[in-house]
Amino acid sequence: MAELHLKSWRFRAEREADWRRLETLLAKAEKGGPAKLRSDEILEIPLLYRQALSSLSVARSISLDQSLTDYLETLCTRSYFFVYGARARLPERLAKFFRQDWPQAVQALWRETVVATVLAVVSTVVGYVLVRRDPDWFHSFMDPGMASGRDPTATTAYLRETLYGKPDSAIEGLTGLASFLFTHNAQIAIFAFALGFMFCLPTAALVAMNFGALGAFMALFVSRGLGFEAAGWLSIHGTTELFAIILASAAGFHIGWAVAFPGDRMRVDAAGDAGRRGATAMAGVVVMLFAAGLLEGYGRQLIQNDLARYAVAAAMLAGWLAYFYWPRPVTR
């Protein structure tokens, strides 16, 4: 026992200065952030960390006292999170997400976005044409709960009222409506993304169903001479909401394609890489749907002028396109 104590004492005496130095630098960084460290101190920490790891390995191999081993394990753990962990604070990470990570993830999905957009346009046209030829098709596309009485049996006056009427209790009614719409649209987007791993098929079906309903809805209002008004009513939030659903579908397609055609990689590795990229895009889609919910619950009801509705819609679409696809330096 005395020999073991002597070994432990000598081992500590030879290396303790480096441990204490590392502990001091870590405490300084943890208290004020990495910005409080000088450049030479930042470079010093990885070297001291490797020395501490070596000391821990030796301490375990020669069975030194447990208190010393515990101390070195704690020190190495703290050092690991500084050297390899994310050191950016939350505001910095959020700024990086909106400035770089989200736009780059969306740009990487451009092929899938084109596919989702084409499928959405075709589905809308199919829904529109079928309902224009036979109004009975309307019920095949539109859920009665979502239609809320806006169906082929409704009068033109009622349909017009749905485009311009306000809830009786404006603030409470609009707040509840915005919350409901955000939740509903978020569910659609999440399903479109999450089901993509099944070789894209459920995602494609969701796109076809939702945009087919859009075509059926427009066909109904066009048949009553309200096409221009209905398009403005939809577009004030639709340029954000539908764009978000297309991006969520593109993220689902990205995963499904990686699962179906992994290339030289293991299927699970290909799906994992695609899932991380898709998840970054989806995190931003939630932001878009929140904005769409506000526009749909508030802007669409409070803005009664058709041209103003179109102006808001055009501004939102131009803003999203510029944000995602405007050329910017690629940073790593």
Give the DSSP per-residue string, 185-217: HHHHHHHHHHGGGTTTHHHHHHHHHHHHHHHHH
Domain-ending residue, one of 28, 61, 87: 87
Domain region containing 275: 92-325
Q: Are residues 130 and 77 in the same domain?
A: no
Q: Which three-class secondary structure state does DSSP give residue 332?
A: coil
Q: At 107, is the pLDDT very low, low, confident or very high (cuts 50, 70, 90)? A: very high
| Whether the Cβ atoms of residue 198 and residue 256 lie closer than 8 Å to each other | yes
Residue 57 belongs to a domain: yes
Least confident of 94-98, 113-117, 131-135: 94-98
The two structure tokens encoding residue 52: 């501490």
Q: Are residues 138 and 235 in the same domain?
A: yes
Q: At 73, is the pLDDT very low, low, confident or very high (cuts 50, 70, 90)? A: confident
Whether the per-residue pLDDT at 319 is higher than 90: the answer is: yes
Q: What is this structure's pTM?
A: 0.72
Rounded Cα–Cα distance for residues 26 and 37 (Å): 9
Q: What tens digit of pLDDT does each residue of 270-309 get? A: 888 888 889 999 999 999 998 998 888 788 878 889 999 9
The two structure tokens encoding residue 14: 């030879």
Residue 332 belongs to a domain: no
The residue among 87 and 77 whose pLDDT is bigger is 77
Main-chain phi, psi angles of 27, to 5 degrees: -60, -40
Residue 174 belongs to a domain: yes
Q: Give how many domains the chain has, as a whole number.
A: 2
User: Of 255, 257, 211, 250, which Cα lies nearest the Cα of 234?
Assistant: 211
| Whether the Cβ atoms of residue 131 and residue 142 lie closer than 8 Å to each other | no
Residue 249's pLDDT is 94
Residue 159 belongs to a domain: yes
In terms of C-beta density within 10 A (0-12 exposed, 13-18 middle, 19 or more buried), how is residue 65 classed? middle
Residue 2's pLDDT is 46
The residue among 218 and 198 whose pLDDT is bigger is 218
**Cβ within 8 Å of residue 247, ≥6 positions away:** 106, 109, 113, 116, 281, 284, 285, 288
| Whether the Cβ atoms of residue 104 and residue 195 lie closer than 8 Å to each other | no
Main-chain phi, psi angles of 55, to 5 degrees: -65, -40
Residue 116 belongs to a domain: yes
Q: Is the alpha carbon torsion for 316, 205, 149, 124 positive or negative? A: positive
Residue 307's pLDDT is 95
Q: Are residues 185 and 264 in the same domain?
A: yes
Q: Are residues 183 and 41 in the same domain?
A: no
Q: Are residues 46 and 118 in the same domain?
A: no
Q: Are residues 123 and 158 in the same domain?
A: yes
Q: Are residues 47 and 107 in the same domain?
A: no
Percent of the chain residues past pLDDT 70, beyond the cut: 88
Q: Are residues 157 and 13 in the same domain?
A: no
Q: Which three-class secondary structure state does DSSP give residue 326?
A: coil
Whether the per-residue pLDDT at 182 is higher than 80: the answer is: no
Q: Are residues 83 and 96 in the same domain?
A: no
Residue 208 belongs to a domain: yes
Residue 10 belongs to a domain: yes
